[in-house]
Amino acid sequence: MTESLGLLSNTIGTTLSIYTGLLILRVLLTWFPMIDWYSQPFQALGQITDPYLNLFRSFIPPLGGMDLSPILAIFVLRIAGGLIGSAM
């Protein structure tokens, strides 16, 4: 049973790390205005990351064209990963 919980904890931690990496990639790519977000692979990246980011965008409005919601989104993922890792 303990091995199963360890495996589950590692799997969730790895998944959250990969998703955090995808969020960081999404944020970095927004610095390039010539990217067409309706073409692949950018459309797939947006479909994966935008629903989560939109949760935070709904209560953190862009400040002067600067979107701070990814910072909070990544922070929440890191805290969740830490809690899951320490709980199991």
> Whole-angstrom Cα distance, residue 7 to residue 30?
35
Q: Which residues of 49-71 are buried (b: 16+ CB within 10 A; e: fewer)?
A: beebbeebbeeeeeeeeeeebbe
Amino acid 83: pLDDT: 85
In a 3-state reduction of DSSP, which class is residue 88? coil
Write out pLDDT tens, residues 29-85. 999 999 999 999 999 999 999 999 999 988 887 777 788 889 999 999 999 888 887
Can you give the pTM of this predicted structure?
Answer: 0.86
Domain ranges within the chain, ordered by starting residue: 2-87
Write out pLDDT tens, residues 19-40. 999 999 999 999 999 999 999 9
Quick one: which of 20, 22, 12, 23 has its CA closest to 77? 20
Amino acid 1: pLDDT: 62
